[in-house]
Homo-oligomer: A and B are copies of this chain.
């Protein structure tokens, strides 16, 4: 379905480096395009989308769909990241992404598999809610 990319190009190298440097963030295509435009080194929209697709296929980055806007964001996958007990929680107020390494989640995963026969895909699941910072600011917001 997706193309295998054979040549090494500066655009791709830059783009992948950018994702690596922001591995803690969920980056949108728009952010990438703006970033490279702003540093006077623009990369074409189609190139960005095509390369992102291919990186997703190669399992080098992960793709998420933003629950608010329905648009995609991407994140570099660490080599050493097992991804097995690592969930992401996204604050719907401030948009912050929280990385959750937690025993309890693995337990839930086991429970859901054993009792409900459903195999949870941690990589595809994002937990939504309100982060502690925003809770402190006031529930009413």
Interface residues of A (CB under 8 A from B): 65-68, 70-72, 89, 91-92, 98, 100, 102, 104-105, 107-108, 111-112, 115-121, 124-132, 135
Contacts and interface: CB of A to CB of B under 8 A. Distances in A.
A68 B72 CA distance: 10
Contacts of A115: 102
B116 A121 contact: no
A95 to B, nearest CB: 13
A121 B128 contact: yes
Contact of A98 (B72, B116, B124): B116
B131 A118 contact: yes
Contact of A132 (B117, B132, B135): B117
